[in-house]
Structure 1
Amino acid sequence: MPKADHPFTGVSEDDLSAIFESQDYVAEDELVTTVFLALRLGRPLLVEGDPGAGKTELAKVLAAGFETELVRLQCYEGLTAENALYEWNYAKQLLAIQSDEGSVNADRSVFDEEYLLERPLLRAVRGDGDYPPVLLVDEIDRADEEFEALLLELLSDFQLSIPEFGTIEATKPPVVVITSNRTRGLSDALKRRCLYLHLEPPSPEKERAIVRRKVPELSEMATVDLCAVTARLREEPLRKRPGVAETLDWAQAITILRGRDDSENQLLSPAEIERTVGCLLKEAEDIEHVDEAILASLLDAAESARLEMGDGDG
Protein backbone atom coordinates (compact mmCIF):
# COMPACT_ATOMS: atom_id res chain seq x y z
CA MET A 1 0.00 0.00 0.00
CA PRO A 2 1.18 3.57 -0.59
CA LYS A 3 2.79 5.27 2.40
CA ALA A 4 0.95 8.10 4.08
CA ASP A 5 3.64 10.57 3.04
CA HIS A 6 3.73 9.36 -0.54
CA PRO A 7 3.90 12.49 -2.75
CA PHE A 8 1.00 11.31 -4.93
CA THR A 9 -1.35 10.29 -2.11
CA GLY A 10 -3.57 13.31 -2.73
CA VAL A 11 -3.65 12.90 -6.51
CA SER A 12 -6.90 11.53 -7.96
CA GLU A 13 -7.73 10.19 -11.41
CA ASP A 14 -9.60 13.42 -12.08
CA ASP A 15 -6.49 15.40 -11.16
CA LEU A 16 -4.44 13.31 -13.55
CA SER A 17 -7.00 13.74 -16.33
CA ALA A 18 -6.85 17.50 -15.78
CA ILE A 19 -3.06 17.40 -16.08
CA PHE A 20 -3.28 15.56 -19.40
CA GLU A 21 -5.90 18.04 -20.54
CA SER A 22 -3.72 21.01 -19.59
CA GLN A 23 -0.79 19.53 -21.52
CA ASP A 24 -2.92 18.82 -24.63
CA TYR A 25 -2.29 15.08 -24.29
CA VAL A 26 -5.28 13.04 -25.44
CA ALA A 27 -5.53 10.30 -22.80
CA GLU A 28 -8.12 7.53 -22.80
CA ASP A 29 -9.55 6.12 -19.57
CA GLU A 30 -7.32 3.04 -19.56
CA LEU A 31 -4.18 5.16 -19.85
CA VAL A 32 -5.28 7.52 -17.08
CA THR A 33 -6.09 4.63 -14.74
CA THR A 34 -2.83 2.79 -15.39
CA VAL A 35 -0.70 5.90 -14.88
CA PHE A 36 -2.71 6.79 -11.76
CA LEU A 37 -2.04 3.36 -10.24
CA ALA A 38 1.65 3.52 -11.11
CA LEU A 39 1.91 6.88 -9.32
CA ARG A 40 -0.04 5.79 -6.24
CA LEU A 41 1.67 2.41 -5.93
CA GLY A 42 5.12 3.83 -6.62
CA ARG A 43 5.70 1.32 -9.40
CA PRO A 44 7.62 1.84 -12.65
CA LEU A 45 5.52 2.04 -15.80
CA LEU A 46 6.56 -0.03 -18.83
CA VAL A 47 5.07 1.50 -21.97
CA GLU A 48 5.21 -0.39 -25.25
CA GLY A 49 3.89 0.47 -28.68
CA ASP A 50 4.87 1.46 -32.19
CA PRO A 51 7.24 4.40 -32.73
CA GLY A 52 5.34 7.67 -32.65
CA ALA A 53 2.52 6.37 -30.45
CA GLY A 54 3.20 8.90 -27.67
CA LYS A 55 5.35 6.85 -25.27
CA THR A 56 8.08 9.43 -24.75
CA GLU A 57 5.57 12.26 -24.77
CA LEU A 58 3.77 10.62 -21.82
CA ALA A 59 6.83 11.05 -19.60
CA LYS A 60 7.30 14.64 -20.75
CA VAL A 61 3.66 15.45 -19.99
CA LEU A 62 3.92 14.00 -16.47
CA ALA A 63 7.05 16.03 -15.72
CA ALA A 64 5.48 19.23 -17.06
CA GLY A 65 2.12 18.58 -15.39
CA PHE A 66 3.63 18.05 -11.94
CA GLU A 67 6.22 20.79 -12.50
CA THR A 68 9.12 18.50 -11.81
CA GLU A 69 12.34 17.57 -13.54
CA LEU A 70 12.45 15.19 -16.49
CA VAL A 71 15.57 13.01 -16.35
CA ARG A 72 16.02 11.18 -19.63
CA LEU A 73 18.22 8.16 -20.25
CA GLN A 74 18.31 7.36 -23.96
CA CYS A 75 19.22 3.70 -24.38
CA TYR A 76 21.44 2.32 -27.10
CA GLU A 77 23.51 -0.78 -27.79
CA GLY A 78 26.57 -0.84 -25.57
CA LEU A 79 25.15 1.47 -22.89
CA THR A 80 27.37 1.10 -19.81
CA ALA A 81 27.02 1.70 -16.09
CA GLU A 82 29.29 4.74 -16.34
CA ASN A 83 26.94 6.36 -18.84
CA ALA A 84 23.77 5.51 -16.91
CA LEU A 85 24.60 5.51 -13.18
CA TYR A 86 27.57 7.62 -12.14
CA GLU A 87 31.21 8.24 -12.89
CA TRP A 88 34.18 9.39 -10.89
CA ASN A 89 35.95 12.55 -11.99
CA TYR A 90 39.29 10.85 -12.51
CA ALA A 91 41.09 14.00 -13.64
CA LYS A 92 40.03 15.88 -10.53
CA GLN A 93 40.94 12.92 -8.32
CA LEU A 94 44.42 12.76 -9.85
CA LEU A 95 44.97 16.48 -9.36
CA ALA A 96 43.91 16.15 -5.72
CA ILE A 97 46.33 13.31 -5.14
CA GLN A 98 49.18 15.20 -6.78
CA SER A 99 48.49 18.55 -5.09
CA ASP A 100 50.29 19.80 -2.02
CA GLU A 101 47.17 21.32 -0.55
CA GLY A 102 46.31 18.42 1.71
CA SER A 103 43.25 17.48 -0.31
CA VAL A 104 43.88 13.81 0.41
CA ASN A 105 44.74 12.72 3.91
CA ALA A 106 43.66 10.25 6.51
CA ASP A 107 40.36 12.04 7.01
CA ARG A 108 39.48 12.60 3.38
CA SER A 109 39.11 10.35 0.35
CA VAL A 110 38.98 11.07 -3.36
CA PHE A 111 35.88 8.88 -3.38
CA ASP A 112 33.53 11.43 -1.87
CA GLU A 113 30.79 13.79 -3.06
CA GLU A 114 33.20 16.30 -4.56
CA TYR A 115 34.45 13.84 -7.17
CA LEU A 116 31.20 12.12 -8.03
CA LEU A 117 29.66 12.86 -11.44
CA GLU A 118 25.92 12.30 -11.73
CA ARG A 119 24.52 10.35 -14.65
CA PRO A 120 20.74 10.03 -15.27
CA LEU A 121 19.93 7.21 -12.83
CA LEU A 122 21.82 8.79 -9.94
CA ARG A 123 20.31 12.17 -10.79
CA ALA A 124 16.80 10.70 -10.61
CA VAL A 125 17.43 9.02 -7.24
CA ARG A 126 18.72 12.25 -5.70
CA GLY A 127 15.83 14.47 -6.81
CA ASP A 128 14.48 16.60 -3.96
CA GLY A 129 11.62 18.73 -5.29
CA ASP A 130 8.02 18.80 -4.08
CA TYR A 131 7.37 15.99 -6.53
CA PRO A 132 10.05 13.46 -7.46
CA PRO A 133 11.63 13.70 -10.90
CA VAL A 134 10.27 11.71 -13.81
CA LEU A 135 12.90 9.25 -14.98
CA LEU A 136 12.43 8.35 -18.64
CA VAL A 137 14.33 5.20 -19.66
CA ASP A 138 13.72 5.55 -23.37
CA GLU A 139 13.82 2.62 -25.81
CA ILE A 140 15.19 0.09 -23.36
CA ASP A 141 14.91 -2.60 -26.04
CA ARG A 142 17.88 -0.95 -27.78
CA ALA A 143 20.14 -1.62 -24.78
CA ASP A 144 21.75 -4.96 -23.95
CA GLU A 145 20.19 -7.47 -21.57
CA GLU A 146 23.04 -6.78 -19.15
CA PHE A 147 21.79 -3.23 -18.79
CA GLU A 148 18.36 -4.50 -17.79
CA ALA A 149 19.98 -6.35 -14.90
CA LEU A 150 21.66 -3.09 -13.90
CA LEU A 151 18.25 -1.46 -13.53
CA LEU A 152 16.79 -4.05 -11.19
CA GLU A 153 18.19 -2.62 -7.94
CA LEU A 154 16.83 0.79 -8.84
CA LEU A 155 13.41 -0.56 -9.79
CA SER A 156 13.16 -2.78 -6.70
CA ASP A 157 14.43 -0.50 -3.93
CA PHE A 158 14.96 2.89 -5.59
CA GLN A 159 18.54 2.95 -4.44
CA LEU A 160 21.97 2.78 -6.03
CA SER A 161 25.04 1.10 -4.54
CA ILE A 162 28.41 2.75 -5.15
CA PRO A 163 31.17 0.46 -3.83
CA GLU A 164 33.61 3.25 -2.95
CA PHE A 165 30.95 5.59 -1.58
CA GLY A 166 28.01 3.65 -0.17
CA THR A 167 24.32 3.24 -0.91
CA ILE A 168 22.25 6.22 -2.01
CA GLU A 169 18.52 5.87 -1.35
CA ALA A 170 15.81 8.00 -2.89
CA THR A 171 13.94 10.09 -0.31
CA LYS A 172 11.14 10.38 -2.90
CA PRO A 173 11.28 7.53 -5.43
CA PRO A 174 11.30 8.88 -8.98
CA VAL A 175 8.40 8.33 -11.34
CA VAL A 176 9.89 5.79 -13.74
CA VAL A 177 8.62 5.51 -17.31
CA ILE A 178 10.31 2.81 -19.38
CA THR A 179 9.54 2.73 -23.09
CA SER A 180 10.06 -0.05 -25.60
CA ASN A 181 9.43 -0.42 -29.33
CA ARG A 182 9.45 -4.22 -28.90
CA THR A 183 12.45 -4.80 -31.13
CA ARG A 184 13.40 -7.57 -28.66
CA GLY A 185 11.79 -9.25 -25.70
CA LEU A 186 12.39 -7.89 -22.21
CA SER A 187 13.25 -10.00 -19.19
CA ASP A 188 10.58 -11.35 -16.84
CA ALA A 189 12.45 -9.81 -13.91
CA LEU A 190 12.05 -6.35 -15.41
CA LYS A 191 8.40 -6.85 -16.31
CA ARG A 192 7.52 -8.08 -12.81
CA ARG A 193 8.61 -4.79 -11.31
CA CYS A 194 6.46 -2.66 -13.60
CA LEU A 195 2.88 -1.88 -14.39
CA TYR A 196 2.26 -2.36 -18.09
CA LEU A 197 0.69 -0.08 -20.68
CA HIS A 198 0.45 -0.77 -24.41
CA LEU A 199 -0.27 2.23 -26.61
CA GLU A 200 -2.19 1.19 -29.69
CA PRO A 201 -2.04 3.20 -32.92
CA PRO A 202 -4.64 5.94 -32.50
CA SER A 203 -8.07 5.66 -34.05
CA PRO A 204 -8.88 8.31 -36.68
CA GLU A 205 -11.08 10.05 -34.11
CA LYS A 206 -8.31 10.18 -31.52
CA GLU A 207 -5.73 11.31 -34.05
CA ARG A 208 -8.02 14.12 -35.18
CA ALA A 209 -8.39 15.20 -31.56
CA ILE A 210 -4.60 15.22 -31.15
CA VAL A 211 -4.08 17.30 -34.29
CA ARG A 212 -6.78 19.77 -33.22
CA ARG A 213 -5.02 20.28 -29.90
CA LYS A 214 -1.46 20.45 -31.21
CA VAL A 215 -2.08 22.31 -34.50
CA PRO A 216 -5.25 24.34 -33.83
CA GLU A 217 -4.59 26.70 -36.73
CA LEU A 218 -5.22 23.91 -39.26
CA SER A 219 -8.80 23.87 -40.57
CA GLU A 220 -11.26 21.15 -39.60
CA MET A 221 -11.51 19.83 -43.15
CA ALA A 222 -7.75 19.62 -43.60
CA THR A 223 -7.47 17.83 -40.25
CA VAL A 224 -9.99 15.21 -41.37
CA ASP A 225 -8.12 14.72 -44.66
CA LEU A 226 -4.70 14.47 -43.03
CA CYS A 227 -5.72 11.86 -40.48
CA ALA A 228 -7.60 9.79 -43.06
CA VAL A 229 -4.60 9.77 -45.40
CA THR A 230 -2.22 8.82 -42.59
CA ALA A 231 -4.51 5.99 -41.45
CA ARG A 232 -4.73 4.70 -45.03
CA LEU A 233 -0.94 4.81 -45.43
CA ARG A 234 -0.52 2.69 -42.30
CA GLU A 235 -2.36 -0.11 -44.12
CA GLU A 236 0.37 -0.27 -46.77
CA PRO A 237 3.41 -2.61 -46.49
CA LEU A 238 5.83 0.17 -45.58
CA ARG A 239 9.24 -0.19 -44.01
CA LYS A 240 8.36 2.48 -41.44
CA ARG A 241 4.74 3.36 -40.91
CA PRO A 242 4.02 6.94 -39.86
CA GLY A 243 3.18 7.57 -36.23
CA VAL A 244 1.35 10.41 -34.54
CA ALA A 245 4.56 12.44 -34.45
CA GLU A 246 4.75 12.30 -38.24
CA THR A 247 1.09 13.27 -38.56
CA LEU A 248 1.75 16.35 -36.43
CA ASP A 249 4.83 17.24 -38.49
CA TRP A 250 2.72 16.97 -41.62
CA ALA A 251 -0.09 19.08 -40.18
CA GLN A 252 2.38 21.82 -39.27
CA ALA A 253 3.95 21.64 -42.73
CA ILE A 254 0.59 22.04 -44.46
CA THR A 255 -0.23 24.96 -42.18
CA ILE A 256 3.04 26.68 -43.08
CA LEU A 257 2.53 26.15 -46.81
CA ARG A 258 -1.04 27.44 -46.71
CA GLY A 259 -0.29 30.32 -44.41
CA ARG A 260 -1.87 31.04 -41.07
CA ASP A 261 -5.31 31.70 -42.57
CA ASP A 262 -6.79 28.32 -43.50
CA SER A 263 -10.36 29.33 -42.80
CA GLU A 264 -11.62 28.30 -46.25
CA ASN A 265 -11.52 24.61 -45.26
CA GLN A 266 -9.88 23.71 -48.53
CA LEU A 267 -9.47 20.02 -49.30
CA LEU A 268 -6.09 18.34 -49.26
CA SER A 269 -4.86 18.30 -52.85
CA PRO A 270 -2.81 15.61 -54.65
CA ALA A 271 -0.04 18.16 -55.18
CA GLU A 272 0.15 18.93 -51.45
CA ILE A 273 0.45 15.23 -50.63
CA GLU A 274 3.19 14.66 -53.20
CA ARG A 275 5.17 17.73 -52.12
CA THR A 276 5.01 17.00 -48.41
CA VAL A 277 4.99 13.20 -48.21
CA GLY A 278 8.52 13.37 -46.77
CA CYS A 279 6.96 14.62 -43.53
CA LEU A 280 5.18 11.28 -43.18
CA LEU A 281 7.49 8.74 -44.77
CA LYS A 282 11.18 8.53 -43.92
CA GLU A 283 12.36 5.75 -46.25
CA ALA A 284 13.07 6.19 -49.97
CA GLU A 285 11.33 2.91 -50.76
CA ASP A 286 8.21 4.01 -48.90
CA ILE A 287 8.05 7.33 -50.77
CA GLU A 288 8.46 5.51 -54.09
CA HIS A 289 5.63 3.20 -53.06
CA VAL A 290 3.19 6.11 -53.22
CA ASP A 291 2.39 5.84 -56.93
CA GLU A 292 -0.68 7.14 -58.76
CA ALA A 293 -2.84 4.23 -57.63
CA ILE A 294 -1.86 4.68 -53.95
CA LEU A 295 -2.36 8.44 -54.24
CA ALA A 296 -5.86 7.87 -55.60
CA SER A 297 -6.65 5.55 -52.69
CA LEU A 298 -5.43 8.19 -50.23
CA LEU A 299 -7.74 10.77 -51.72
CA ASP A 300 -10.62 8.27 -51.62
CA ALA A 301 -9.92 7.67 -47.94
CA ALA A 302 -10.02 11.41 -47.28
CA GLU A 303 -13.33 11.73 -49.14
CA SER A 304 -14.85 8.84 -47.20
CA ALA A 305 -13.77 10.41 -43.92
CA ARG A 306 -15.39 13.70 -44.89
CA LEU A 307 -18.63 11.91 -45.76
CA GLU A 308 -18.61 10.16 -42.38
CA MET A 309 -18.07 13.50 -40.66
CA GLY A 310 -20.98 14.89 -42.64
CA ASP A 311 -23.16 12.09 -41.32
CA GLY A 312 -22.53 13.25 -37.78
CA ASP A 313 -19.14 11.79 -36.72
CA GLY A 314 -17.21 14.42 -34.84
Structure 2
Amino acid sequence: NESKQIIGQLRGGSSSCSSPLLNDRFGKFGKSWDSNSSSTRQLKFWLSPNQDLFEIGPLDRGLIIGPTNVCYAQNSTFNMPNLPAGYSISWSVSPQLNIVSSTSNSVTVSPLSINSNENGYIRAFLNGVMFREYKVIVGVPVPAININMYHSVCTGGTDWEASFEVTPVIPNLQYIWIYNGVELPASSSSTFSTYEFPANPITLNLRVKTSCGVSPKLLTYDATYYPPCPSGWLISPNPSTTEFEVSKSFSNAARSTDEKQIFKVQLIDNKGRILSNSNSVSGSAKINVESISNGTYFIHIFQGKEVVKKQVIVRH
Protein backbone atom coordinates (compact mmCIF):
# COMPACT_ATOMS: atom_id res chain seq x y z
CA ASN A 1 0.00 0.00 0.00
CA GLU A 2 1.01 3.70 0.08
CA SER A 3 2.67 3.13 3.47
CA LYS A 4 4.94 0.48 1.92
CA GLN A 5 3.29 -2.25 3.99
CA ILE A 6 2.60 -5.74 2.63
CA ILE A 7 -1.17 -6.29 2.73
CA GLY A 8 -1.73 -9.15 0.27
CA GLN A 9 -0.07 -11.86 -1.78
CA LEU A 10 -0.68 -14.13 -4.76
CA ARG A 11 -2.28 -17.37 -3.49
CA GLY A 12 -2.95 -19.24 -6.71
CA GLY A 13 -4.39 -19.04 -10.19
CA SER A 14 -3.79 -19.99 -13.82
CA SER A 15 -1.56 -17.18 -15.07
CA SER A 16 2.12 -17.60 -15.76
CA CYS A 17 4.97 -15.68 -17.33
CA SER A 18 3.89 -16.93 -20.75
CA SER A 19 0.16 -16.30 -20.06
CA PRO A 20 0.05 -13.29 -17.71
CA LEU A 21 -3.60 -12.36 -18.45
CA LEU A 22 -5.27 -15.51 -17.05
CA ASN A 23 -7.14 -15.43 -13.73
CA ASP A 24 -5.25 -15.20 -10.43
CA ARG A 25 -6.30 -15.43 -6.79
CA PHE A 26 -5.00 -13.05 -4.14
CA GLY A 27 -5.39 -13.27 -0.38
CA LYS A 28 -4.98 -11.20 2.75
CA PHE A 29 -1.36 -11.29 3.81
CA GLY A 30 -2.26 -11.50 7.51
CA LYS A 31 -4.25 -14.67 6.82
CA SER A 32 -1.23 -16.47 5.41
CA TRP A 33 1.10 -15.04 8.03
CA ASP A 34 0.18 -17.36 10.89
CA SER A 35 -3.31 -18.87 10.43
CA ASN A 36 -2.30 -22.32 9.16
CA SER A 37 -2.19 -25.00 11.87
CA SER A 38 1.18 -26.21 10.60
CA SER A 39 3.91 -23.74 11.50
CA THR A 40 5.97 -24.69 8.45
CA ARG A 41 3.03 -23.65 6.26
CA GLN A 42 2.89 -20.19 7.82
CA LEU A 43 4.67 -17.31 6.08
CA LYS A 44 5.91 -16.22 9.50
CA PHE A 45 7.99 -19.39 9.76
CA TRP A 46 9.88 -18.54 6.58
CA LEU A 47 9.95 -14.73 6.57
CA SER A 48 10.49 -14.14 10.28
CA PRO A 49 12.32 -17.14 11.74
CA ASN A 50 13.55 -14.99 14.64
CA GLN A 51 10.04 -13.62 15.29
CA ASP A 52 11.24 -10.03 14.76
CA LEU A 53 8.48 -9.02 12.33
CA PHE A 54 4.98 -8.22 13.52
CA GLU A 55 1.65 -6.94 12.24
CA ILE A 56 1.13 -3.19 12.57
CA GLY A 57 -2.14 -2.86 10.67
CA PRO A 58 -4.08 -1.31 13.59
CA LEU A 59 -1.33 1.33 13.98
CA ASP A 60 -1.53 2.68 10.43
CA ARG A 61 -2.92 5.96 11.75
CA GLY A 62 -0.83 6.08 14.91
CA LEU A 63 0.95 9.39 14.34
CA ILE A 64 3.02 11.31 16.88
CA ILE A 65 1.38 14.62 17.76
CA GLY A 66 3.22 17.50 19.44
CA PRO A 67 4.89 20.92 19.05
CA THR A 68 7.50 21.61 16.37
CA ASN A 69 9.73 23.49 18.84
CA VAL A 70 11.15 22.32 22.17
CA CYS A 71 12.33 25.20 24.37
CA TYR A 72 14.88 25.23 27.18
CA ALA A 73 13.46 25.07 30.74
CA GLN A 74 10.08 24.02 29.36
CA ASN A 75 8.50 20.57 29.16
CA SER A 76 6.97 19.50 25.85
CA THR A 77 4.62 16.52 25.54
CA PHE A 78 4.20 14.28 22.50
CA ASN A 79 1.59 11.56 22.20
CA MET A 80 -0.07 9.05 19.92
CA PRO A 81 -3.78 9.70 20.55
CA ASN A 82 -4.99 7.00 18.14
CA LEU A 83 -3.00 4.16 19.66
CA PRO A 84 -5.30 1.09 19.77
CA ALA A 85 -5.94 -0.70 23.04
CA GLY A 86 -3.42 -3.38 23.88
CA TYR A 87 -0.44 -1.65 22.25
CA SER A 88 2.38 -0.18 24.31
CA ILE A 89 4.95 2.21 22.86
CA SER A 90 8.47 2.79 24.16
CA TRP A 91 10.23 6.06 23.43
CA SER A 92 13.68 7.44 22.62
CA VAL A 93 14.84 10.98 21.89
CA SER A 94 17.82 12.70 20.27
CA PRO A 95 20.93 13.27 22.43
CA GLN A 96 20.20 16.92 23.26
CA LEU A 97 16.82 16.00 24.80
CA ASN A 98 15.91 14.43 28.13
CA ILE A 99 12.83 12.26 28.79
CA VAL A 100 11.03 13.74 31.80
CA SER A 101 8.28 11.11 31.87
CA SER A 102 6.58 8.66 29.54
CA THR A 103 3.55 6.37 29.25
CA SER A 104 2.49 3.76 26.73
CA ASN A 105 1.22 6.48 24.38
CA SER A 106 2.94 9.75 25.41
CA VAL A 107 6.34 11.18 26.31
CA THR A 108 7.36 14.48 27.93
CA VAL A 109 10.79 15.91 27.12
CA SER A 110 12.96 18.98 27.74
CA PRO A 111 16.35 20.15 26.38
CA LEU A 112 19.40 19.15 28.41
CA SER A 113 21.12 22.53 28.00
CA ILE A 114 20.32 26.13 27.16
CA ASN A 115 22.87 25.71 24.37
CA SER A 116 20.86 22.92 22.75
CA ASN A 117 19.91 24.54 19.46
CA GLU A 118 19.66 22.10 16.62
CA ASN A 119 17.36 19.59 14.98
CA GLY A 120 16.14 16.74 17.17
CA TYR A 121 13.71 13.85 17.07
CA ILE A 122 11.15 11.87 19.06
CA ARG A 123 10.96 8.16 18.18
CA ALA A 124 8.29 5.60 19.01
CA PHE A 125 9.17 1.90 19.21
CA LEU A 126 6.94 -1.16 19.11
CA ASN A 127 8.46 -4.48 20.17
CA GLY A 128 11.90 -2.90 19.97
CA VAL A 129 11.46 -1.74 16.36
CA MET A 130 11.17 1.97 15.51
CA PHE A 131 7.66 2.65 14.28
CA ARG A 132 7.41 6.45 14.04
CA GLU A 133 9.80 9.43 14.10
CA TYR A 134 8.82 13.05 14.75
CA LYS A 135 11.35 15.80 13.98
CA VAL A 136 11.59 18.88 16.21
CA ILE A 137 13.68 22.04 16.45
CA VAL A 138 15.40 22.27 19.83
CA GLY A 139 15.77 25.79 21.26
CA VAL A 140 16.66 28.62 18.89
CA PRO A 141 18.90 27.23 16.15
CA VAL A 142 21.89 29.13 14.78
CA PRO A 143 22.17 27.38 11.41
CA ALA A 144 25.10 27.80 9.05
CA ILE A 145 23.52 29.54 6.06
CA ASN A 146 24.45 31.43 2.93
CA ILE A 147 22.65 34.34 1.31
CA ASN A 148 22.74 33.92 -2.47
CA MET A 149 21.81 36.64 -4.95
CA TYR A 150 19.92 34.77 -7.67
CA HIS A 151 18.57 37.77 -9.59
CA SER A 152 20.32 41.08 -10.31
CA VAL A 153 19.51 43.45 -13.14
CA CYS A 154 19.81 47.18 -13.81
CA THR A 155 16.67 48.82 -15.15
CA GLY A 156 16.23 52.30 -16.56
CA GLY A 157 19.97 52.92 -16.36
CA THR A 158 20.08 53.89 -12.68
CA ASP A 159 17.68 51.44 -10.95
CA TRP A 160 18.66 48.06 -9.52
CA GLU A 161 16.38 45.07 -9.08
CA ALA A 162 17.75 42.18 -7.01
CA SER A 163 16.50 39.02 -5.30
CA PHE A 164 18.18 36.89 -2.65
CA GLU A 165 17.60 33.47 -1.09
CA VAL A 166 18.74 31.54 1.97
CA THR A 167 20.46 28.19 1.52
CA PRO A 168 19.84 25.71 2.91
CA VAL A 169 16.17 26.30 3.72
CA ILE A 170 15.28 24.92 7.16
CA PRO A 171 11.61 24.03 7.76
CA ASN A 172 9.54 25.36 10.67
CA LEU A 173 11.57 28.57 10.96
CA GLN A 174 10.66 32.19 10.50
CA TYR A 175 13.22 34.49 8.91
CA ILE A 176 14.05 38.04 9.97
CA TRP A 177 15.85 39.81 7.12
CA ILE A 178 18.15 42.66 8.16
CA TYR A 179 18.23 45.15 5.29
CA ASN A 180 20.74 48.00 5.54
CA GLY A 181 20.81 47.50 9.30
CA VAL A 182 17.01 47.54 9.69
CA GLU A 183 15.24 44.38 10.86
CA LEU A 184 12.16 43.53 8.83
CA PRO A 185 9.14 41.68 10.32
CA ALA A 186 9.56 37.92 10.74
CA SER A 187 8.04 35.77 8.02
CA SER A 188 8.26 32.24 6.66
CA SER A 189 9.81 33.52 3.41
CA SER A 190 13.40 32.45 2.81
CA THR A 191 13.71 34.95 -0.06
CA PHE A 192 14.10 38.73 -0.17
CA SER A 193 13.70 41.15 -3.10
CA THR A 194 14.52 44.83 -3.38
CA TYR A 195 14.24 47.63 -5.93
CA GLU A 196 16.91 50.28 -5.40
CA PHE A 197 16.46 53.76 -6.83
CA PRO A 198 19.09 54.95 -7.27
CA ALA A 199 21.23 51.81 -7.49
CA ASN A 200 23.08 51.96 -4.16
CA PRO A 201 24.81 48.92 -2.65
CA ILE A 202 22.91 47.20 0.15
CA THR A 203 23.81 45.13 3.19
CA LEU A 204 21.96 42.02 4.31
CA ASN A 205 22.01 39.76 7.33
CA LEU A 206 19.56 37.36 8.87
CA ARG A 207 18.10 36.06 12.09
CA VAL A 208 15.76 33.10 12.56
CA LYS A 209 12.82 32.92 14.92
CA THR A 210 11.01 30.04 16.60
CA SER A 211 8.47 29.92 19.41
CA CYS A 212 11.50 29.70 21.73
CA GLY A 213 12.95 33.07 20.69
CA VAL A 214 15.19 34.80 18.15
CA SER A 215 18.71 33.82 17.11
CA PRO A 216 21.70 36.16 16.95
CA LYS A 217 22.78 37.35 13.50
CA LEU A 218 23.64 34.33 11.38
CA LEU A 219 26.43 36.08 9.46
CA THR A 220 29.40 37.35 11.45
CA TYR A 221 29.49 40.47 9.28
CA ASP A 222 26.75 42.03 7.18
CA ALA A 223 27.07 40.93 3.56
CA THR A 224 27.36 43.81 1.08
CA TYR A 225 25.98 43.53 -2.45
CA TYR A 226 26.79 45.96 -5.25
CA PRO A 227 24.65 46.81 -8.27
CA PRO A 228 26.10 45.85 -11.66
CA CYS A 229 25.04 49.21 -13.08
CA PRO A 230 27.06 51.90 -14.89
CA SER A 231 28.81 54.57 -12.85
CA GLY A 232 26.75 56.67 -10.48
CA TRP A 233 26.78 58.16 -7.02
CA LEU A 234 26.37 55.73 -4.13
CA ILE A 235 25.30 56.51 -0.57
CA SER A 236 25.64 53.72 1.94
CA PRO A 237 24.09 52.67 4.20
CA ASN A 238 20.75 54.34 3.63
CA PRO A 239 18.96 54.51 6.08
CA SER A 240 21.85 55.04 8.50
CA THR A 241 22.27 55.34 12.26
CA THR A 242 25.86 56.63 12.40
CA GLU A 243 27.19 57.95 9.09
CA PHE A 244 26.68 58.09 5.35
CA GLU A 245 29.50 57.24 2.98
CA VAL A 246 29.31 58.88 -0.43
CA SER A 247 31.24 57.43 -3.34
CA LYS A 248 31.00 56.98 -7.06
CA SER A 249 30.06 53.47 -8.18
CA PHE A 250 31.38 51.67 -11.22
CA SER A 251 30.60 48.33 -12.74
CA ASN A 252 33.67 46.19 -13.38
CA ALA A 253 33.54 47.25 -17.00
CA ALA A 254 33.15 50.94 -16.18
CA ARG A 255 35.85 51.54 -13.56
CA SER A 256 38.18 54.43 -14.31
CA THR A 257 40.47 56.93 -12.67
CA ASP A 258 37.39 59.12 -12.04
CA GLU A 259 36.91 56.97 -8.95
CA LYS A 260 39.42 59.10 -7.05
CA GLN A 261 38.37 62.52 -8.24
CA ILE A 262 37.79 65.18 -5.61
CA PHE A 263 34.24 66.14 -4.68
CA LYS A 264 32.37 67.84 -1.85
CA VAL A 265 29.17 66.81 -0.04
CA GLN A 266 26.67 68.65 2.14
CA LEU A 267 23.91 67.35 4.41
CA ILE A 268 20.77 69.50 4.04
CA ASP A 269 17.58 69.41 6.13
CA ASN A 270 14.07 69.89 4.72
CA LYS A 271 14.32 73.64 5.39
CA GLY A 272 17.42 73.97 3.23
CA ARG A 273 19.84 74.42 6.12
CA ILE A 274 23.36 73.00 5.74
CA LEU A 275 23.98 70.64 8.67
CA SER A 276 27.36 69.23 7.62
CA ASN A 277 30.12 69.59 5.03
CA SER A 278 32.67 66.99 3.98
CA ASN A 279 35.35 66.63 1.32
CA SER A 280 36.27 63.38 -0.38
CA VAL A 281 39.34 61.37 0.57
CA SER A 282 40.51 58.59 -1.78
CA GLY A 283 37.26 58.62 -3.70
CA SER A 284 34.74 58.77 -0.85
CA ALA A 285 33.35 61.23 1.69
CA LYS A 286 31.71 60.51 5.04
CA ILE A 287 29.06 62.47 6.92
CA ASN A 288 28.52 61.68 10.59
CA VAL A 289 24.85 61.71 11.67
CA GLU A 290 25.07 60.31 15.21
CA SER A 291 23.84 63.64 16.61
CA ILE A 292 21.27 64.24 13.86
CA SER A 293 17.59 63.63 14.67
CA ASN A 294 15.63 60.89 12.94
CA GLY A 295 14.11 62.00 9.68
CA THR A 296 14.53 62.55 5.95
CA TYR A 297 17.42 64.69 4.69
CA PHE A 298 19.24 65.47 1.45
CA ILE A 299 22.86 65.07 0.45
CA HIS A 300 24.16 67.47 -2.19
CA ILE A 301 27.22 66.29 -4.10
CA PHE A 302 29.46 68.78 -5.92
CA GLN A 303 32.07 67.60 -8.42
CA GLY A 304 33.28 70.11 -10.97
CA LYS A 305 30.15 71.47 -12.63
CA GLU A 306 28.08 68.46 -11.59
CA VAL A 307 25.60 68.86 -8.73
CA VAL A 308 23.69 65.74 -7.61
CA LYS A 309 20.99 65.66 -4.93
CA LYS A 310 20.13 62.44 -3.07
CA GLN A 311 17.52 61.75 -0.40
CA VAL A 312 18.70 59.95 2.75
CA ILE A 313 17.09 58.75 5.98
CA VAL A 314 18.53 58.98 9.48
CA ARG A 315 17.11 56.27 11.73
CA HIS A 316 18.53 55.64 15.22
- TM-score bin (small chain): under 0.3
Q: Which has the higher helix share?
A: 1
TM-score, scaled to structure 1: 0.23
Question: Which protein shows a greater Rg?
Answer: 2
TM-score, scaled to structure 2: 0.23
Q: Which has the higher strand share?
A: 2
